Structure 1
Amino acid sequence: MSGNLYESFLDVFSANSGAPAIELADGTTWTYGELTDQVGRLARRLVEVGVEPGDRVAVQVEKSPQALFTYLACFQAGAVYLPLNTAYTGPEVAYFLSDARPRCFVCDPRRAEELATIAGEAGVTSILNLDPTGFGTLTDGLEALAPMTEVVERDPDDLAAICYTSGTTGRSKGAMLSHRNLESNARTLHGTWGFQDGDVLLHALPLFHVHGLFVASNTALLNGSKMLFLPKFDADQVIRLLPRARVMMGVPTFYVRLLERDDFTHELVANMRLFVSGSAPLQPETWRQFKERTGFEILERYGMTEAGMITSNPLDAERRPGTVGFPLPDVQVRVAKQDGTVLDRDEIGILEIKGPNLFQGYWNKPEKTAEEFRPDGFFITGDNAKIDARGYVHIVGRAKDLIISGGYNVYPKEVELTLDAIDGVKESAVFGVPHKDFGEAVTAMVVAEAGKENALTEKGLIDACRTQLAGYKTPKRVFFADALPRNTMGKVQKAQLRTDYEDTFQGAA
């Protein structure tokens, strides 16, 4: 048996071939046997269009069963899966394709003309498309293809996926994840969260993000669970489906929205076993309100693109609101100063991690990779944290001014570069402020060039950003000033800006 993750999945699929794997809101269902068949046909299609082992396959499509099948087909064919956020604009996609140099790019047919030009310029040799209903050139004539039955051999340390994560320089970095990285994390979560026969996962997360793809999907697939598959979070649909589910994974926004509903009751979730939250900090008040309403304590965990899941509150012991629990089995964590000096309990520093889930480095960026690792192999996460006397990890802030909005990472520098390129803008500062629904909202302070103050408007700047950036990166508010606040060393005082504007979205939803 090779180290290809799909081999492990296939063992489960074969043992559960007649069991339901995916069920859509309209009741359409795929069994694990039908899933295996579709994955094999898609793997054959990828090979037909020239995809070879180790080639990258970039995918920017809406969530659908066929999108998930394509992800698995890449593994079966020995390719490297490269998910792209569906909100990425043309200029953003151009960067990813030119950096990763995929052999094949699968996009939404509604953007095919725009993206085909971009992909061609990036040297992509095969451009296919797939719409939200599962139709497109990727699946045209699929039933006439013989399913690929063999699984291409891969070493456990061969790449399985490249996931781009924003960088402080404004350019995203491709985190290289191996088959071993993904499988170790899926097996650990399967055990840590007590997955069992009969578990049904309510899946309302996107597939282009680590949370929905690797954490939710991989764990459910490894368990042979049925997934109630929603294209996105829809409170009405979630309320309707919760009585049939056992496990739900979500971002804090999901739980805030559910608590706003009068029909979200203790009786509604009587069949549930576990609620998990991640991708952004869960407010302790939300945690308490959820427990009061349902009797369930949300299990909060912590992860990142470069390592999948890292810590988790315990399944069968005290879950402490405001913490992200303990290191997962086989994962080591420590808190250190910037110079690498390891700190004691309850001291705040930068969280460093090590384990079989830790990525292989950044694609085509050996220097950046070397900068982020200590000589003993620990990865510097950039998140400020402390470990309390009982061993619970607390994420107390984020180094490098990372903003997490709606569960997605936003690095201010990328947004600032976009704002600064707009005619009339002298300089800008981008920062996050509290928002009930998104956790944090992207906010900007702009200084206009002399004589151009009247030419700039908040709406105009937001609209201009929207053409260059994904919606979650686009500022929700823009303020103007004569100068940015700076310290004696000339560094912009973003902490002051966050404090000055912390009530901007008070009461917003």
Structure 2
Amino acid sequence: MSLSLYTLIESSFPDDRTRLALEVPGRTHGPRDWSFDRLSAYAARYAALFAQLGLKPGDRIALQVEKSPEALVIYLACLRGGFVFLPMNTAYRVEEVDYLVGDAEPALIVCDPAVETAIADIAARRGVPHLLTLDADAHGSFIDAVATVADAVRPATCGAEDLAVILYTSGTTGKPKGAMLTHGNLAANGLALRDAWRFTDADVLLHALPIFHAHGLFVACHCALLSGAKMIWRQKFDRADVIALLPRATTFMGVPTFYTRLLAGDDFNASLVGHMRLFTSGSAPLLAETFEAFRARTGHAILERYGMTETGMNTSNPYDGERRAGTVGFPLPDVELRVTDEEGLPRASGEIGGLEVRGPNVFSGYWRMPEKSAAEFAEGGWFRTGDIAMIDADGYVHLVGRAKDLIISGGFNVYPKEIEELVDDMAEVLESAIVGVPHSDFGEASVAVVVLREGAALDEAALIARLREKIANYKVPKRAFFVESLPRNTMGKVQKNLLREDYKTACA
């Protein structure tokens, strides 16, 4: 692919560019109606500002702000100017941001005014030359700076192999890794989803997901932008808000938690969504009982799919045809999947093993980690996902486990090792284990099982309070339990399966 992702997106806009691309109902400050023309014009001005600041193609721009149309346009401006976009979860604490900034070395950070002082300290310490602020209502020094820009810049010449985005994902070592996604990766995946899910310029997507995450930024926004569809933009998921706006939408994307909350009231029913074309679910496993309850209530079968930070989307249940509960469907066009044994040899249909993927959607490697990148790929360009899966006789993919001990809570990835290191650093703690257990709202939640040093005193509230100061809220264990010792096998490895069983009702 010779065109940049930005050029592809803009070429997908409708002929009538005065049509609304983005609507923000109830917004009290900043534009609430964004035509395709406005998106294009603002992206050009934002890219010109970055160039005016001295940024060059390939420079990283880090963003930690609340969801807003302006935040989306910053992403588009990065694509337009050839800059590398680095979104950061708004829940990240200072230490987490400090690590990411130190690793990625951005030339510009855009943050919420509320955290400017803390981020300015990081920027100064890490040698970041530029810091600007932006809030959800279009206030901040970023908006002031853009107002002084008169010129636009032509879209940069970017090829399929050029880096577009770095998305950080934690790992079993506890240190986040920057997955490098190219213009070609994102374009291939966006086009595949647009076509597989039949998006057109007649669609209206009700967008209630965060945009620091691949689900909300790439899956949702790319489907809309690459089809000329309209988005109704919501700051976050609010049940009453979504119920009120669904009559104006044709499509909705969510995490399983969204659907369990919608089903919690009788006002969510078949008559409310009879006009809807598509509901999709991702970022965490959708329980079969939620799938069946949703279908019984509304007549709609939620379309579940599977992806990950390093690959975008890999599979999807069919738009036409049977959407099977408990499966994530078939590989998307041009995506290959296989299940392998411990030796890396392909397993037969119906057998369980490690899931590997190959295709134009697969990332180019981890930022500044060549050895780690090489280790994650098998011969022939197959990426080892770390998930355990089975492909049945009909070709449906079943995810049956996670080899890397990942916990998915409310659609967000939680890696136990990262939290265990923080708990183990506490003076009172001898050792700890973090495990995921069922949670009625979040799907999964983490709990801490802790062994204290002899004579030490530490209670659950204090332990959790300390963690809240260090890590994002979604990573903080919902409960903490104190034990004399952790169960181990004959090789000395902690038997987390036993802990998951022992504490399976802790968050019920």
TM-score (norm 2): 0.98
Deviation readout 1:382-426 (Å, 9 max, x if unpaired): 000000010000000101211011101111000000111112011
Picking from 364, 377, 387, the partner of 1:373 is 377
Alignment partners' CA distance in 2, 1:363 and 1:297: 39
Q: How far apart are 1:14 and its partner, in Å?
A: 6.3
The match for 2:142 is 138
The match for 1:384 is 388
> Secondary structure of 1:153's partner?
coil
Deviation readout 1:269-298 (Å, 9 max, x if unpaired): 122100000000000000000001100000
The match for 2:117 is 113
List structure 1 runs of 4+ shifted beyond 6 angstroms. none
The match for 2:50 is 46
The match for 1:468 is 470
> Secondary structure of 1:469's partner?
coil
The match for 1:7 is 7
Deviation readout 1:80-111 (Å, 9 max, x if unpaired): 00010000000000000000111111111100
Alignment partners' CA distance in 2, 1:261 and 1:238: 13
Deviation larger for 49-58 or 179-188: 49-58
The match for 2:458 is 456
The match for 2:197 is 193
Q: How far apart are 1:146 and its partner, in Å?
A: 2.3
Q: How far apart are 1:13 and its partner, in Å?
A: 3.1
Q: Is the 8 A contact 1:323 1:395 kept in 2?
A: yes
Q: Is the 8 A contact 1:14 1:33 kept in 2?
A: no
Asked if 1:495 corresponds to 2:479, the answer is no
Alignment partners' CA distance in 2, 1:167 and 1:328: 26
Alignment partners' CA distance in 2, 1:397 and 1:120: 43
Q: Is the 8 A contact 1:98 1:122 kept in 2?
A: yes
Deviation readout 1:44-81 (Å, 9 max, x if unpaired): 11111221100011101000000001010111111000
Asked if 1:160 corresponds to 2:164, the answer is yes
Alignment partners' CA distance in 1, 2:120 and 2:187: 33
Q: Is the 8 A contact 1:42 1:142 kept in 2?
A: yes
Alignment of 1:233-244 (within 5 A): 233-244=237-248
Q: How far apart are 1:352 and its partner, in Å?
A: 0.2
Alignment partners' CA distance in 2, 1:417 and 1:141: 41
Alignment of 1:36-435 (within 5 A): 36-435=40-439
Q: Is the 8 A contact 1:13 1:36 kept in 2?
A: no
Q: How far apart are 1:149 and its partner, in Å?
A: 4.5
Deviation larger for 312-321 or 133-142: 133-142
Alignment partners' CA distance in 2, 1:147 and 1:31: 20
Alignment partners' CA distance in 2, 1:501 and 1:53: 50
> Secondary structure of 1:15's partner?
coil
CA 1:107–1:44: 2 relative to 1, 3 Å: same
Q: Is the 8 A contact 1:25 1:237 kept in 2?
A: no
Alignment partners' CA distance in 1, 2:336 and 2:343: 19
Deviation readout 1:154-183 (Å, 9 max, x if unpaired): 121000000001110000100000000000
The match for 1:481 is 483
The match for 1:442 is 446
Q: How far apart are 1:36 and its partner, in Å?
A: 1.0
Deviation larger for 41-50 or 209-218: 41-50
Alignment partners' CA distance in 2, 1:117 and 1:144: 26
Which 5+ residue runs of structure 2 have no aligned equivalent?
none
Q: How far apart are 1:262 and its partner, in Å?
A: 1.6
> Secondary structure of 2:372's partner?
helix
> Secondary structure of 2:51's partner?
helix
1:126 corresponds to which letter in structure 2?
H
Q: Is the 8 A contact 2:243 2:268 kept in 1?
A: yes
Alignment partners' CA distance in 2, 1:405 and 1:85: 14
Q: Is the 8 A contact 2:75 2:85 kept in 1?
A: yes
1:17 corresponds to which letter in structure 2?
R
> Secondary structure of 2:190's partner?
helix
Alignment partners' CA distance in 1, 2:61 and 2:108: 5
Q: How far apart are 1:2 and its partner, in Å?
A: 4.7
Alignment partners' CA distance in 1, 2:301 and 2:403: 29
CA 1:16–1:382: 2 relative to 1, 3 Å: farther
Q: Is the 8 A contact 1:45 1:138 kept in 2?
A: no
What is the RMSD of the two structures over their aligned residues, measured on CA atoms?
A: 1.1
Deviation larger for 360-369 or 337-346: 337-346
Q: Is the 8 A contact 1:16 1:224 kept in 2?
A: no
Q: How far apart are 1:147 and its partner, in Å?
A: 4.7
Q: Percent identity?
A: 54
Alignment partners' CA distance in 2, 1:271 and 1:125: 50
Alignment partners' CA distance in 1, 2:148 and 2:126: 31
Number of residue pairs matched by the alignment: 504
Alignment partners' CA distance in 2, 1:171 and 1:418: 12
Q: How far apart are 1:142 and its partner, in Å?
A: 2.5
1:24 corresponds to which letter in structure 2?
V
